[in-house]
Structure 1
Amino acid sequence: AKLQSIQLYLFGPKNSQTLVKELKAKRHSVGGLGGLIGRKKGAVAIRINYDDIKMVFIACHLAAHANKVDQRNKELRHISNSLLSRDKRTRDLTVWLGDLNYRIEDVSNRPVRSLIHNHLQSVLVSKDQLLQEAERGEIFEGYCEGTLGFKPTYKYNVGSSNYDTSQKERIPAWTDRILYKIQDTNNIQAVLHSYDSVDQVNGSDHKPVKADLCLKWIYS
């Protein structure tokens, strides 16, 4: 599934086609005058029924900048209504991932970088806009996320693991996230084995994030 630079791919084991009963892709754009100004924001989604587990994966790119919290919340609602509203009761797992662009609130650049340098980034978790908005009930109701134990994934100098040294000197933030929701926890159990960034990848001003999530049927 693709929407300009937003791309989502699913991979599975060889000879698993017989386990796939449904496979659909959708997309939804927000803002940017359809991509005529800057990079288009929005989301792409893949819906799949694999071995009788109905899953929806959504990759999105939301509005940038620290002062755009309300706009990001609004974009999430629009995307959710467009891509999820019709099949709310018929999916077992929903996964959101991508550059959600939520920033660190009310902490200036130098203290943020100092805490990260001293491996104290956990102090900043309470200032994360996404977690603040979720706690207020504005976004991601019922969703789970692993602990933000890794360093903020944005913004780096491309080709290095050094935070932005350009004139703008963006404040580091956990812009890149993976969240998931189990619709019926009585039937399916989700175990998150790991949630981390991949610091060795230097081809972007972001560090990618990975999650190892295991699903298990619960038999009564």
Structure 2
Amino acid sequence: MSHSNYRRKYSLVASKQMVGIFISVWVKQELQSKCRVSNVKVCSVACGIMGYLGNKGSVAVSMLIESTSFCFVVAHLASGEKKGDEGRRNHQVSEIFKRTCFPKTPKDHYPHPSTILGHDQIFWFGDLNYRLYLQGSLARRLIVRQDWKALQQFDQLRMEREAGVFEGWKEGNIEFPPTYKYSWSNCNRYSGNFPSRSGEKKRTPAW
């Protein structure tokens, strides 16, 4: 779809950027002509270096379509494959839930939720940086076999969810190869396949 056609069919509701984290929410003009879109609010939470810089954290948009509340969250969490790095990511998730706030205003048309979990429909996207508890060579073999089910048994996010992080949330079916981390010089292979030749760090693929 060309940019001009896109702008004719969709209207920008809100956008927000914090360093490299960006969100934009668009609504079909057809829907907007039939349903009231209101109470649009944005919020950013910085929880990077020292817990307050914007290199890690989230940006979020809250809105109503008629009387149904929607919240869209984009997050970039702490990186790292070392033992304990998942704890840093879990802590940042907790901070995002705790510090994201959508204050009420006199212009609100309906009672509006002030927190993420207060919304009727919530969507969370982004680079969450959870890894696979698996040796890189074995992960690559399972990828070649396209055995996504076996890979998911070692998925860190899945395990952390079972332990209580994102409790009650649902993730879509994963029927595609891990998207982390492709080589900067060749998007058809994972980073570090030829570390001595390219100087790339060898990373275990992950979602």
For the criterion TM > 0.5, the same-fold answer is: yes
Shift of 1:86: 3.9
User: Corresponding residue for 2:206?
Assistant: 173
Select 1:25's aligned residue among 37, 42, 63. 42
| Ranges in structure 1 where 5+ consecutive residues have no aligned partner | 175-220
Q: Distance between the aligned counterparts of 1:119 and 1:24, measured in 2?
A: 41
Q: Distance between the aligned counterparts of 2:143 and 2:67, measured in 1?
A: 43
Identity %: 30
Shift of 1:161: 2.0
Select 1:96's aligned residue among 124, 143, 153. 124
Asked if 1:145 corresponds to 2:171, the answer is: yes
User: Corresponding residue for 1:136?
Assistant: 163
* Alignment-mate amino acid for residue 58 of structure 2: A
Could you say what secondary structure the match of 1:116 adopts?
helix
* Alignment-mate amino acid for residue 150 of structure 1: F
Q: Distance between the aligned counterparts of 2:149 and 2:98, measured in 1?
A: 33
* Alignment-mate amino acid for residue 55 of structure 1: F
- In our comparison, the structure showing a higher alpha carbon Rg is 2
Higher strand proportion: 1
Higher helix proportion: 2
Q: Distance between the aligned counterparts of 2:114 and 2:26, measured in 1?
A: 25
1:162-186 Cα offsets, whole Å, 9 max, x none, are 1113431111001xxxxxxxxxxxx
- Matched-pair contact (CA < 8 Å) for 2:44–2:58: yes
1:176-217 Cα offsets, whole Å, 9 max, x none, are xxxxxxxxxxxxxxxxxxxxxxxxxxxxxxxxxxxxxxxxxx
Shift of 1:25: 0.5
User: Corresponding residue for 1:111?
Assistant: 138
- Matched-pair contact (CA < 8 Å) for 2:71–2:116: no
Any residues of structure 2 matched to 1:44-123 within 5 Å, and which? 44-67=59-82, 68-83=85-100, 86-87=114-115, 90-105=118-133, 107-123=134-150
User: Corresponding residue for 2:8?
Assistant: none
User: Corresponding residue for 1:202?
Assistant: none
Aligned alpha-carbon RMSD (Å): 2.0
